[in-house]
Structure formats: C-alpha cells, structure tokens
Chain A
Amino acid sequence: MTTIRGFWHNFTGQKKVDVGETAVSPPPPTTQINNLDLDISPHDPLLAYVQHNPGIINVDQLKLDSPALETLRQAGIQLVVPLVSQGELIGLINLGSRLSEQDYSSDDYKLLADLATQAAPALRVAQLVRQQELEAAERERIEQELKVARLIQQTLLPQTVPTLADWGVTAYYQPARAVGGDFYDFIHFPDGKVGFIVADVTDKGVPAALVMATTRTLLRAAAERLETPGAVLERTNDVLVQEIPPKMFVTCFFAILDPANGRLRYANAGHDVPYRYTNEGVVELRARGMPLGLMPGMDYEEKETTLAPGEYVLLYSDGLVEAHNPEREMFGFPRLQELMAVHANGDTLKDFLLGQLDTFTGPDWEQEDDVTLVTLQRKKPVSSKQVSENNGPVKIEIPSAPGNERLAMKWVGENAARFLDGKRLERLKTAVAEATMNAMEHGNKYDPDKPVRLQLFVEETLVRITITDQGGGPVRQTAVTPNLEAKLAGEQSPRGWGLFLIQNMVDEMHIHQDAQHHTIELVMSLTDQEGE
C-alpha cells in the first residue's frame, strides 16, 4: 500500500506529494513485497485523473503523459486502487501482476474496491492521529522554550527590593505568556547610593531573555567602574552593540539615588519616560538618549532632581500603557498620569494600577506584553506628637438606622483630622461611611438595638479604624472591581460600589469574621501625607 503523504507535507510545509513505503499486510509467505519510493508531483496528471475517476486503474490501459504512471509501470505495477476519504485522495494501493500470472478477475476488482472502501477511512484516522502527535510535539517544544525564557528571567530578577530608611521601594513583574524581554535591577554602591534599572528588550522568548541577561551583566559591570548613569549607559551601549543580534535593541532607564538627601541622577536609553508624583501634580523624568545596541558612540543626557518627602517615582514598561481593552483602545500614558495624580501612596500604587488595568482590559484579556512596575517613594518623617497621643482607641457606637453613616463621618473628622491631611481625611471619611452603611444594612439589618461599633487606633506610622457589626457567619462579600461598561449597558445592576470604594480610599483594608461579628479594618499610613 502506498500512502499519499501530501497531507503531512501541507503541515510540514513541503510542496511535493510523496508516495511512501509499500506494504501488504499480512502477506502470504510467497508474496513478493516491493517497497516503492515514488514522489508524485502535485502537477502530475495522474493525481487529477485519480481524483476524478475514483475507480481502480489498470496501469497498462491508461494513456496519460504522467511521470508517476511511467514509474509505476516500470516497477511492474498493474493495478492502482485509489484510497479516497471524504473526497480527498489520501493513498494508493499498488498491485503487481498476480502470482498465478493470470489477469485480475472481476471478483478481484470487487474485492479490491471493498478493501479500498474499508482501508481509506482507517488510513485517514491514522493520518489525523499522526498529525495531532506532531502538533502536540510542536506545542510542547514552544512551551519548553517559554519555560526556559521564564526561568532565565526569573533567575536574574532581584529576589528582594532595597530596604532603605525613609524610603519605600516596590517592584512588580508579570511576564506575558510569550515572555517579553522586560527586566529591572537594583545595584547597591559602596557609598550607600542605589541604582535603579528598568529595561525592555525587543523580541520575545529565549532570544530576548538571553539579551536581557547580557545587558544586565554589562550594566552591572559598567556601574562598578563608572559613577554616573549616562556613562554607564554609554559604556553598556558600546559593548552591547557588538554582541546583540541584528534588529534587536534594549530600552533602558537608569537612575542612581542618594537616599541620604533624595538626589536622583538619571539617564534614559529610549525607555518609556518615568513619572514622578509631586504635590503639584505628576511630571515626567525626561532625558535624551538612543536605545542600547543600535549604534556605537552614543552619548546619554544626564539629569538630576531631588525627591521631596512624600514624592515618588514610577518606573514601568510598555506592557502597562500599551494594554488594550476589548474595543482596542490603549491604556495610554494620559490615563497612567491621571491615575498617579490621585494616588499619593507609592507602596500601594502597584495594586491600584493593576486594579485599574484589570477594569480597563476586562476579564478575558490575554496579557500582550510583560508588565513591570517599580516605585520609589521618599517617606515623610513621623512626628513625635502623633506617637505620644497613642493612648488606646477612641470608640463610638452608632445605632443602625439609614443615614447614620454621617455620624461616623463626623466622628472620623473629629478624631483623625490631627493625623491626616485634608485629602486623605476625606478618603478615610468616605471609606468609614461606606463600611458603616454596610454594617448597618447587611450586618445589623437596620435593627436599632444592634449598634455598629467603631474604634480608632493611632499607632506609630498609621491610623487604624475598625467597624464591627453583629452579622457573623460566612464572609458576606469580597471586593470586586465593578464592570462599569456592563452597568451602563444595563447588563448589570448599577449598584455594587461600596467595597470597591472603600478599598480604593484607604491604604489597607482587612475583613475579619467570626460566628457573631463582622469587622472591617481600615488603615491609613501616616508616612506618605501630601502636605502638612
């Protein structure tokens, strides 16, 4: 039997139809088996003939200008039985002359036709199984390559963030499925200064991961000997340009912080411009420079700024700003800037932005590129006055009745105003009001005999408020990001904002539950105020 393997060849990208090994199974002991190795060109008229005349072909009687037919004839083939499945020619059974040297009878023809009818679907199934095996092997190979790329990246990313007095540092890295070439790094200098790097290699997978590893090593080596970010990028570029594969390059932002005085010196090799949160708004940290690895002899503009207490810097990669929503709109730089402007806490910025990204992209988003976020915030010093007033909690009990959350807001205003600036006090009041409403309605079912208990604790670096109702039992609800599009389209109730609001108003939210009580705990940090 000869199988036409064009089927595979379509899959593997080869053009020719190939006639493979021949076997009759199981053969009687006296049968002679010839392996016929024959390529049939896709343009050979035999193929067209067979496709239009599905019956058995007598090779000697067929007049066709066909190289394949000639080869068959020379090999002593007398009959060719096409195997057709679902209208597609998938193989040929080739027979030589009968051992008895008599002509094939009409019974033989009928038997062969029946055999072809049975064999064709079986052969087709075998082909499909084989194709699936090949595809599975290909998928496994790609998956393996991705694993290697992820491993390289994870091995080289810092395991911890720098711990610096009066500074908060956070780092987040989420690879896309195909693993882009993002990386970040921290370099500790002997004089106490700290280098911050965020970079993005073009391309994805193993090639990007290898270039990332090289770049990281070159940056570290250059930083050991050179003092300024511009010089480090210049040196790295000059070495990398000789090593990097063609059409690949690396964008990189490199800053050196002096934690003692807040001075930040930086240079940028074509990377997305980092943002700086200030009391006056969000500003860019611009510096001119070409990406690394494109051209030798580049120089990199260097700039310096001083971060004031409360200010923070966000270094990021394009995976965030270039994320798309289902309408193919981009998350974009203006949105990032607006979101930063309303978020004063560098430590929680990451969670806030990821929540916003999640809302923007919707639940079915497949991450398009790596997302990297690194924040660096100068903390505000804590005054001793605040600490000394920590004499145990202030308490209030509020009867459960509609509108009484305003009592809770008033109480927060009276007791927390000393510790929080205006903007953050408003946030806390809103969060406490929402939590109190939930407690009165869902926990105490507006039973006037069941008050909501509020306690306010002032600790060294934070204000903590707990709101407790008498609705114990299983967890009532968890904070989910409301789907505004669905609400506006009338597909969801317009309600469901309470817990989401609470979570976005405060620095931390925790829920505690036992059989009798439900407590929501709200925390505001005292170290990242915006203005005194």
Chain B
Amino acid sequence: MAEKTAAFQAETTWEGETAVLNLHGEINSQADAALDAAYSTAEQANPPKIVLNFAGVDYINSTGIALIVGLLARARAAHRPIAATGLSEHYREIFTITRLSDFMEIQ
C-alpha cells in the first residue's frame, strides 16, 4: 500500500524575459523528471532569470530540497539568477536553515 501523492506538474509562463516555473503538487523523488524537463525547456530560451513559483506546492521533502539544489547548481554554472516565490512560512524557514536562501532571492 502506498499513499497516493499529488502528482507533480510544472508549467512555464513568462514575465517579460523572466521565465516563471509554476510548480504544483509535491516536490519529492517523483518530481525529478518533470522538474528537470520544465527547467531545461525554460533554459533553452536563455532567460536572464528564472523564478520558481512554489505557490501550488504543499510538500517538499529532503529529496525535493536536493532537486532544488541541483537546479541551483545548474543555474549558477550558467550565471543565471534564480528566485523563489510563493513559499509558505514553513518552507521559507527550511530555505533559511538549509541556506538555499543565501543563493536565491526569496520573494
């Protein structure tokens, strides 16, 4: 028996040149492929900045943190700033404790 989880989805919208990845569902190991694909698609347009919108995300586990670290590593290698928006107070705290907030703008 496995708990049914909210399937992860990501869609990209644009605010001027900035790519906004609107994330929905749970960011866990299941989200890996979809998150990676959405980021890669956004990256192809070479945007000066990518915003991760967590407003539709209700759960991020440690594997999800690792996925975000992975994206952040890719973005840093490309000197592309990353921002996060829509984080709940609890996940803002987790981004502070993990120091992700030192490497991405939290909006």
Residues in A whose Cβ lies below 8 Å from that of B17: none
Residues in B whose Cβ lies below 8 Å from that of A437: 61-63
A342-B96, A437-B61, A501-B97 known; A489 and B2 CB under 8 Å?
A: no
Residues in B whose Cβ lies below 8 Å from that of A489: 73
In the assembly, what is the distance between CA of A338 and CA of B97, in Å?
10
Residue of A430, A489, A493 with most chain B CB atoms under a 10 A cut-off: A430
Q: Judge if A401 is at the interface, Cβ distance under 8 Å.
A: yes
From B33-41, B42-50, B64-72, give the one contacting chain A. B64-72
CB-contact partner of A342 in B62, B65, B93, under 8 A: B93
Q: Judge if B83 is at the interface, Cβ distance under 8 Å.
A: no
Asked if B62 contacts A406 (CB within 8 A), the reply is no
Query: Of residues 1 to 55 in B, which have CB atoms within 8 Å of A's CB atoms?
Result: 1-5, 28-30
B78 vs chain A, min Cβ distance (A): 12
Residues in A whose Cβ lies below 8 Å from that of B1: 399, 401, 404, 448
Asked if B69 contacts A406 (CB within 8 A), the reply is no
B26 vs chain A, min Cβ distance (A): 8
Asked if B62 contacts A494 (CB within 8 A), the reply is no
In the assembly, what is the distance between CA of A426 and CA of B93, in Å?
11
Residues in A whose Cβ lies below 8 Å from that of B2: 399, 401-404
Q: Judge if A359 is at the interface, Cβ distance under 8 Å.
A: yes
Q: Judge if B79 is at the interface, Cβ distance under 8 Å.
A: no
In the assembly, what is the distance between CA of A337 and CA of B40, in Å?
36
In the assembly, what is the distance between CA of A401 and CA of B4, in Å?
11
In the assembly, what is the distance between CA of A489 and CA of B61, in Å?
22
How many residues of A are counted as interface, with CB atoms below 8 angstroms from the partner's CB atoms? 35
A342-B97, A437-B61, A501-B94 known; A494 and B3 CB under 8 Å?
A: no
In the assembly, what is the distance between CA of A427 and CA of B97, in Å?
12
B88 vs chain A, min Cβ distance (A): 8
Residues 399-411 of chain A, each 1 if its beta carbon lies under 8 Å from chain B, else 0 = 1011111110000
Q: Judge if A482 is at the interface, Cβ distance under 8 Å.
A: yes
In the assembly, what is the distance between CA of A23 and CA of B29, in Å?
83
Asked if B28 contacts A403 (CB within 8 A), the reply is yes
Q: Judge if A463 is at the interface, Cβ distance under 8 Å.
A: no
Residues 74-107 of chain B, each 1 if its beta carbon lies under 8 Å from chain A, else 0 = 0011000000000001100110111110110000
CB-contact partner of A494 in B5, B29, B67, B102, under 8 A: B67
Q: Judge if A130 is at the interface, Cβ distance under 8 Å.
A: no
Asked if B62 contacts A403 (CB within 8 A), the reply is no
In the assembly, what is the distance between CA of A482 and CA of B97, in Å?
11
In the assembly, what is the distance between CA of A139 and CA of B32, in Å?
56
Residue of B whose beta carbon sits closest to that of A491:
B73
In the assembly, what is the distance between CA of A495 and CA of B67, in Å?
8
Asked if A426 contacts B76 (CB within 8 A), the reply is no
In the assembly, what is the distance between CA of A405 and CA of B29, in Å?
13
Asked if A430 contacts B94 (CB within 8 A), the reply is yes
Asked if A488 contacts B73 (CB within 8 A), the reply is yes
A423-B90, A433-B61, A501-B65 known; A484 and B98 CB under 8 Å?
A: yes
Asked if A406 contacts B103 (CB within 8 A), the reply is no
Asked if B61 contacts A405 (CB within 8 A), the reply is yes
Q: Judge if A497 is at the interface, Cβ distance under 8 Å.
A: yes
Q: Judge if A287 is at the interface, Cβ distance under 8 Å.
A: no
CB-contact partner of A406 in B5, B77, B100, B102, under 8 A: B5
B36 vs chain A, min Cβ distance (A): 12
In the assembly, what is the distance between CA of A407 and CA of B59, in Å?
13
Residues in B whose Cβ lies below 8 Å from that of A401: 1-3
CB-contact partner of B90 in A402, A426, A482, under 8 A: A426
Residues in A whose Cβ lies below 8 Å from that of B62: 434, 437, 495, 497-498, 501
Residue of B5, B89, B90 with most chain A CB atoms under a 10 A cut-off: B90
Asked if A359 contacts B99 (CB within 8 A), the reply is yes
A403-B28, A406-B59, A494-B73 known; A484 and B99 CB under 8 Å?
A: yes
A280 vs chain B, min Cβ distance (A): 14
A401-B2, A403-B28, A406-B5 known; A487 and B69 CB under 8 Å?
A: yes
In the assembly, what is the distance between CA of A403 and CA of B67, in Å?
16
Residue of B94, B97, B98 with most chain A CB atoms under a 10 A cut-off: B97
B27 vs chain A, min Cβ distance (A): 12
Q: Judge if A339 is at the interface, Cβ distance under 8 Å.
A: yes
In the assembly, what is the distance between CA of A42 and CA of B70, in Å?
64
Known A484-B98, A494-B69; further 7 A-B contacts with Cβ < 8 A = A338-B96, A403-B28, A405-B3, A423-B90, A437-B62, A497-B66, A498-B62
A-side residues, CB < 8 A to B, are 338-339, 342, 359, 399, 401-407, 423, 426-427, 430, 433-434, 437, 448, 482, 484, 487-490, 493-498, 500-501, 504
CB-defined A-B contacts under 8 Å, sample of 15? A402-B2, A402-B29, A403-B4, A423-B90, A427-B93, A430-B94, A484-B98, A484-B102, A488-B76, A494-B67, A497-B65, A497-B66, A497-B98, A501-B62, A501-B98
Please name the 4 residue pairs, one residue from A and one from B, whose CB atoms are nearest each other, closest first.
A401-B2, A494-B69, A497-B62, A426-B90
